[in-house]
A and B are shown apart, each in its own frame.
Chain A
Amino acid sequence: MAITVNGTKVDPPGDMRVSLLDFLRDDLHLTGTKIGCNQGACGACTVLIDGERVLSCLTLAAQADGREVTTIEGLAEGDALHAVQAAFVDHDGLQCGYCTPGQVCAATALLNELRTGSPSYVTGDLTAAAPLTAEEIRERLSGNLCRCGAHNGIVSAVLALAEART
């Protein structure tokens, strides 16, 4: 089997104990994926597997076998920024930039979750599609910590994207 990373097939690591985070950073040199805690508390290592977000520090690389991993480096096509990346720039949704790849990946998955109608903890009516509110977005991004305090910009970037898609 093989793991597809940003469209390229790669062999899984020989050592089955290697986390997806270490595999991406150390073996594939995809250092856009960041490490902030190595225990699933900060969200800096968020990547997408088959379009859904995972914490790569808590995921074994072997678990991605036969699946498609998308990292921050794989979001954009060519030189143009991905819509989520562009929105973060436009809304000043970053400062130091360290949590940013995780926030962008989480936001990308979040937009898919909203589209498919999957509810969150704050969704009131589980029988209908989750409403596009700042509260929904804040809840769904709360696993991604930011210490510089770019929260308002991040939420407005994602809200603008979510509204544009409806």
Chain B
Amino acid sequence: MSTLQNVLIGSVRTAVGWLPEGWLPGGRPDPLIGRHGAVGRQSALSDAPEKVTGAARFAADVAVDGLCHAALVHAPITRGRITRLDTTAAEAAPGVVAVVTHRNMPRVDSPALIGLSNPSAVGNSDLPILQDDRVHYNGQVVAAVVAETQAQADHAATLLDIGYEVTKAPTDFATAKASARTIPTLLYEPTQRAEGDAEADLSTSRYAVDAIYTTPWQTHNAIELHALTVIWEGDRLTVHDATQMIAPTATALAKMFGLKRENVRVLSPFVGGGFGGKGFWDHHVIAVAAARLAGRPLRLRLTREGVYRVVGGRSQTEQRVALGADAEGRFTALIHTGTSVMPPYSCSPEAFTLGTRAMYRSGSYLYSQRHADMAVVPNTFMRAPGEAVGTFAVESAVDELAHEMGIDPIELRLRNLPEVHPVTGVRFSQHALDQAYRDGAARFGWAERPATPGERRDGEWRIGMGCASGSFPYVRLPGASVRITLHRDGTAAVACSAQDMGMGTATVQTQHAADRLGLTPETVRFVSGDSDLPPAPAAGGSGQTASIAGAVMAASAKLVGELIRLAGNASPLAGLRAEDLHFDRAGLVAREDPARHESFAAILARANREEVSVTASGAVPMEMFRYAMHSTSAIFAEVRVSDVTGEVRVTRMLGSFDCGTILNPRTAASQFRGGMIMGLGLALTEETLYDERTGRIMNPSLADYHVPAHLDVPPIDVIWTGIPDPRTPLGARGIGEIGTTGVAAAIANAVFNATGKRVRDLPLTLDKVL
């Protein structure tokens, strides 16, 4: 993240802007857009039968002979050094194989921090991992105990005698905020953007709101505990992992342990939820090193508390949003600034102002944010990082402004929708949030909402409705590659190291490849979850599906050439060039003369080949520079608020999405709902509590951190515009994170509509609502 990056991104944007559209990926729409094939059909998750029968093997389920188990010891202090370390009692405990501390841990470099300049970087932290006696944050791992059984390891871990010298550390936000820093780049955008004098325009606006909004620390809390099963065979390393970054993890481990990349294999065919939390953390390095020291296969499965101590979550934020509008409700000033936490050893900037920049036009604007240094487990990306909490602030503010003006909040939003990206001036590839609002409002029954708060009541319960916009950028990650193999029996395999955490990655790419290759989904197999396969990027940024789809496009184009070569002169296709052909009916067909067709099976049989295989990477994602590309949504919520207790119950929600082509309505609806439920938790119940005196997380358990339970989750209606994005593979944009955006504001706005009480501090717990 640097100033240089800003210049580079700016230059690429400018250069790409000069090129004719046809020269770019996405310049000519994908021919599969609008075709009615396997894509667009309802299809159940392809691995659902294995999951419902318990046959799916997760990382901690793999059976290995001679397995030993590890338990971690976490620092109870926040910053300081280890002054006394006695492992004697632990080593003498029953079943103990090894005790790993900074004294005997192999010397390994810290991983490079995740950043745009190095796509293979995996580090959420660049602190040393068990390399010295220093402690940087509360819960940092200071030792690992390896034993024959998990119970023995857990017991022995309590027997370590460790003394500490404590030094002062920044542990309270108010103090840390005062010295917060500004970094040059927020992921892909300059941190500061300004046009005109927004403060001056605000002060002279006909209408204005100006408020502070705060959001809490959050933890991903995938139900699967992070786990690795590690097997060393000489200089070969096999890791069964729970990860959303398979290939990058293999590359990082090879580098850190001085191994050849081809000698490291990371397998992760099933991941029990990720949400940004299943990246690369200290326990990876400790488990791999401990297995080497123990000379045995080893399993390290974090405890639930261990997940909180080792894996950081979403940073708390304090945001200012100020909005000015003229008499017609056009925004004259928009200010979105604030502070989140990012210690210098971490990489996730919680970019809560990015979404706002694409959402509204305004006469003047000011966007900026700062990062406070606190002694905390390195925070990281969590589902819709930035936008999930940024939309709470800005979409609450829009609701406040609409109330002040006495106009409908949807109307106010529609009056301020941008024609082009408001900051960069770049055209949208496709943008139909207005339609999403109109469709959503009609279906939800928005017209029944009383404009005046507190008018609807059912006994002790006040009833209200709220809405809010969501936004999340399209990303197609560079470097995604796939291998397509056609077999003589007419089947095909598409393989890459993709991760499927239940989003339907394999299901949807099977549908896609079937359409791309002129096959039926039943004859296509998608293989993933293994770093030995052609590398796919991490599952992140809602970009996996588009990234792999781009690679499948590239590989299928290459496959045409390979098939022509194999077909030879005896083929009905002889003499035709790649551009004269397309895939159809399990073979190649001449565009001009559909009678000229030859099946893959026939081509392979004549060539006396069992199979043909090609590997290719997707084209450089230039469309991201040429166009403003964002999934958007209109979220609606209805709540009941108790007069007696202040309890908020969400009775129904609706998400109306504009995300391009929906590839599989069934899995997509589940993705949208899942995202919205995480937004529901952000709104009402979730909060990772740090003791600001000590810097220690106080509620590291699922009993004390409240993720929404069944009774909290109302029926959620999901609809979409389905308008294809002409600049993306299949016309699709990401759908994994957009669902989480906008939800917290929609619920807070509904609470205001029910009660007249505006709560600007998440979660909306009873004490704040009463």
Contact = CB atoms under 8 A, between A and B. Distances in A.
Interface string A139-154: 1011111111111111
Interface stretch (B517-525, B600-608, B703-711): B703-711
A98 B709 CA distance: 16
Contacts of B150: 22, 26
Contact of A142 (B272, B670, B710): B710
B48 interface: yes
A39 interface: yes
B675 A149 contact: yes
Contact of B711 (A34, A92, A138, A154): A138
A138 B713 contact: yes
Given A29-B63, A138-B711, A142-B710, A96 B149 contact: no
A73 B224 contact: no
Contacts of A72: 52-54
Interface residues of B, number: 60
Contacts of A117: none
Contact of A92 (B58, B221, B666): B666
Interface in A56-92: 71-73, 75-76, 81, 85-86, 88-90, 92
Contacts of B55: 32, 73
Contacts of B701: 37, 39, 41
A34 B54 CA distance: 9
A79 to B, nearest CB: 10
A149 to B, nearest CB: 3
Instruction: From A36, A81, A92, A98, name the one whose CB has the most chain B CB atoms within 10 angstroms.
Output: A98
A55 to B, nearest CB: 12
Contacts of B703: 37, 39-41
A contact face: mostly helix, strand, loop, or mixed: loop
Contacts of A81: 49, 52-53
Contact of A98 (B149, B222, B304, B678): B222
Contacts of A139: 710-711
Nearest to B671: A95
A38 B51 contact: no
B225 A36 contact: yes
B47 interface: yes
Contacts of A85: 49, 52-53
A33 B55 CA distance: 10
Nearest to B61: A31
Contacts of B61: 25, 31
Given A36-B702, A97-B47, A155-B710, A150 B674 contact: yes
B61 to A, nearest CB: 4
Given A41-B702, A138-B710, A99 B223 contact: yes
A144 B221 CA distance: 14
Contact of B48 (A41, A76, A88, A99): A88
B386 interface: no
Given A41-B702, A89-B48, A150-B670, A33 B707 contact: no
B54 A95 contact: no
Interface in B657-675: 666-667, 669-671, 673-675
A42 interface: yes
A100 B711 contact: no
Given A76-B53, A95-B670, A96-B222, A147 B713 contact: no
B702 A100 contact: no
B710 A96 contact: no
A39 B225 CA distance: 13
Given A42-B223, A146-B223, A149-B674, A94 B52 contact: yes
A54 interface: no
Contact of B224 (A34, A134, A155): A34
A101 B271 CA distance: 15
A145 to B, nearest CB: 6
A142 B709 contact: yes
B403 interface: no
Nearest to B54: A32
A58 to B, nearest CB: 12
A5 interface: no
A104 interface: yes
Nearest to A144: B710
Contacts of A29: 63
B431 to A, nearest CB: 26
A96 B303 contact: no
B359 interface: no
A109 interface: no
Interface in A99-136: 99-101, 104, 134-135
A74 B271 CA distance: 23
Contacts of A101: 52, 54
Contact of B304 (A32, A37, A153): A37
Contacts of A75: 53
Contacts of A49: none
A48 interface: no
Contacts of A44: 223
Contacts of A89: 44-45, 48-49, 52
B48 A22 contact: no
A88 B63 contact: no
Interface string B245-277: 000000000000000000000000011111100
Interface string B703-744: 100011111010110000000000000000000000000000
Q: Which 3 pairs between the two chains have the least Cβ-Cβ distance?
A: A32-B54, A149-B674, A97-B51
Interface of A: 17-18, 22, 25-26, 29-42, 44, 71-73, 75-76, 81, 85-86, 88-90, 92, 94-101, 104, 134-135, 137-139, 141-155
Given A95-B273, A98-B223, A100-B52, 8 more contacts: A32-B54, A35-B225, A36-B224, A37-B702, A73-B54, A92-B45, A152-B715, A155-B710
15 contacts: A39-B703, A76-B53, A92-B666, A95-B674, A96-B272, A96-B502, A97-B50, A97-B502, A138-B710, A141-B710, A147-B220, A147-B275, A147-B707, A149-B670, A153-B670
Interface of B: 44-45, 47-58, 60-61, 63, 149-151, 220-225, 270-275, 301, 303-304, 501-503, 666-667, 669-671, 673-678, 701-703, 707-711, 713, 715-716
